Structure 1
Amino acid sequence: MDDISLAAVALLCLAALSAGWIDAVVGGGGLLQLPALLVGFPHLPPAYLLGTNKAVSIVGTTAAAVTYTRKAPVDVRTAVRIGLAALGGSLLGAFFAAGVESAVLRPLIIVILLGVLAFVLLRPSFGTTVPVMTGPVTRRRVLTAILVAGLGIGFYDGLVGPGTGTFLVIALVAILHMDLVTASATTKIVNVCTNFGALVVFTAQGTVLWKLAALMALFNLAGGTLGARTALKRGSGFVRVVLVAVVLALVAKLAYDQWTG
């Protein structure tokens, strides 16, 4: 921490601000924040970067979740149930992560993301209009969301990570017929659960740069609050545009890592 330049600190704070905004709108803020930490500390063990990233992210995610729940129709009980399942899934994924070859996994994720992108582009109404429901969401759909969006995507989060928030938004829209704003709001509550679990582990291991995390967290907090307010104000159509942009960025990032790694 003492060796980092003022310019690098400014870059990290800007990345935290931008990541908080993107993450609050549609997920994927780690695309900016984690690479920025890698640039700022190229020789630091990855565990410290991951721990610091989680310490920063949980602040912006919590701020976004609070902002959303005050103004968006969020089923907090369902969100927490999915979040607890995601927490279990992420711990399980992390257990298997050491034995997975990233060179094999990245192409598969790229293909999945391209499929998601094609689906969203070919269905202009996806997430911007909500199907007419004859009653409350069925228990079967809630259970499916807990298993797929919670346990399944949580497992992916622990195994690999990039785009977890984006995948959660898409899954919640598809399974529970949420609009994109409500899905983003629900995702933030799920993210709070998973981030908390991961942060407990990193804290116990002593792999968090707390001074840097505290500074970046202030900017991430501002970005998360602003992002949630922007999404609430601009609506699902705006969130859809950001969703497409984030998926494209994820594909580009993973492709770059695959071909240059």
Structure 2
Amino acid sequence: MDFVLTLDWGLLLFLVAVLAGFVDSVAGGGGLITVPALLAVGLSPAQALATNKLQSTGGSFSASVYFVRRGLVNLREMRFAIFMTFVGSAAGAILVQMIDASVLRQTIPFLLLGIAAYFIISPSARIAGAATVRMSLTAFACTAGLGIGFYDGFFGPGTGSFFAIAFVSLLGYSLVMATAHTKVLNCTSNVASLLFFILGGQVVWAVGGIMLVGQFIGARLGSRMVVKRGQQIIRPMIVIISLVMTGKLMWDDYGHLLF
């Protein structure tokens, strides 16, 4: 790696991680902020993705601990969903090292647009109470937990938003409860994929360590905001982040056609 971690770069990356941790704990999409920053300072794509998993694990862990301590998540009830998410993410992290993920990448902007549209027009996403429960938690673990976990290990952008919409639409959770449970499963998928990046030797530990601290702080601030302001902040943040991520991914894929 040619990048040399100076005090200035370290401070900048720390502040970027604080912001990303806050955003990610509320609506997901923190990687939209951190991955470009890591690439901008000189890390290779593989190093940026691997190091991003290290620092994002700190943010998702911080938010998870906060929500569990506040009684919003029962880990005993979620243990099978946690297991299936881990399995899915591990499988995705292994597979992405074997095949080209570009086809999947091109479909993600349209999925994110769908998420934004859902939270704009769906009545169940606007109310504090639960909507219709469409499946058991066990079925959720085997479908959404496994599938979204696989996606996070394989590619990643929008994982938090995908989990949130799954909890709302499939289990009938309010947005506050969905956000709390999302962080636990997102932390699980981060840890699983991080393990395989470590085995591949791609993590830049000095950079990731500094950003991990920033993510931890930002996620704790964002988690408190979720508990205090609930749906008042979560719903618009999910819509905004989904739209911004859509624009960013479409620009990366198709922006060169405009010039």
State the Cα RMSD in Å: 2.2
Specify the alignment match of 2:191 in structure 1. Answer: 196
Identity between Structure 1 and Structure 2 (%): 37
Q: Does 1:100 align with 2:100?
A: yes
Number of residues paired by the alignment?
254
* 1:101–1:54 Cα change, 3 Å: closer
Q: Secondary structure at the match of 2:125?
A: coil
Which consecutive aligned stretches of 4+ in structure 1 deviate over 4 angstroms post-superposition?
none
Q: Secondary structure at the match of 2:100?
A: coil
Specify the alignment match of 1:176 in structure 2. Answer: 171
* 1:241–1:174 Cα change, 3 Å: same
Gaps of 5+ in 2: none
Specify the alignment match of 1:51 in structure 2. Answer: 50
Deviation at 1:249, TM superposition (A): 1.1
Specify the alignment match of 1:119 in structure 2. Answer: 118
Q: Does 1:32 align with 2:27?
A: no
Does the Cα contact within 8 Å between 1:4 and 1:40 map onto a contact in 2?
A: no
Gaps of 5+ in 1: none
Deviation at 1:18, TM superposition (A): 0.7
* 1:93–1:198 Cα change, 3 Å: closer
* 1:180–1:46 Cα change, 3 Å: same
Specify the alignment match of 1:219 in structure 2. Answer: 214
Residues 3-152 of structure 1: matches in 2 within 5 Å?
3-41=4-42, 44-97=43-96, 98-102=98-102, 104-126=103-125, 128-131=127-130, 140-152=135-147
> Structure 2 counterpart of 1:141, which letter?
S
Q: Does 1:258 align with 2:258?
A: no
> Structure 1 counterpart of 2:170, which letter?
I
Does the Cα contact within 8 Å between 2:93 and 2:193 map onto a contact in 1?
A: no
Once residues 131 and 101 of structure 1 are traced to their aligned partners in structure 2, the CA distance between those partners, rounded to angstroms, is 36
Cα deviation, 1:111-168, whole Å, max 9, x if unaligned, reads 22222222211124415332378xxx79x42123112321111121122210011100
Moved more, 245-254 or 85-94: 85-94
Moved more, 9-18 or 86-95: 86-95
Once residues 99 and 218 of structure 1 are traced to their aligned partners in structure 2, the CA distance between those partners, rounded to angstroms, is 33
Cα deviation, 1:75-100, whole Å, max 9, x if unaligned, reads 32343322221221122223433433
Specify the alignment match of 1:233 in structure 2. Answer: 228
Does the Cα contact within 8 Å between 1:80 and 1:190 map onto a contact in 2?
A: no
Once residues 95 and 216 of structure 1 are traced to their aligned partners in structure 2, the CA distance between those partners, rounded to angstroms, is 25
TM-score, normalised relative to structure 1 = 0.88
Q: Secondary structure at the match of 1:15?
A: helix
Once residues 172 and 78 of structure 1 are traced to their aligned partners in structure 2, the CA distance between those partners, rounded to angstroms, is 14
> Structure 1 counterpart of 2:248, which letter?
K
Does the Cα contact within 8 Å between 2:128 and 2:174 map onto a contact in 1?
A: yes
Q: Secondary structure at the match of 2:21?
A: helix
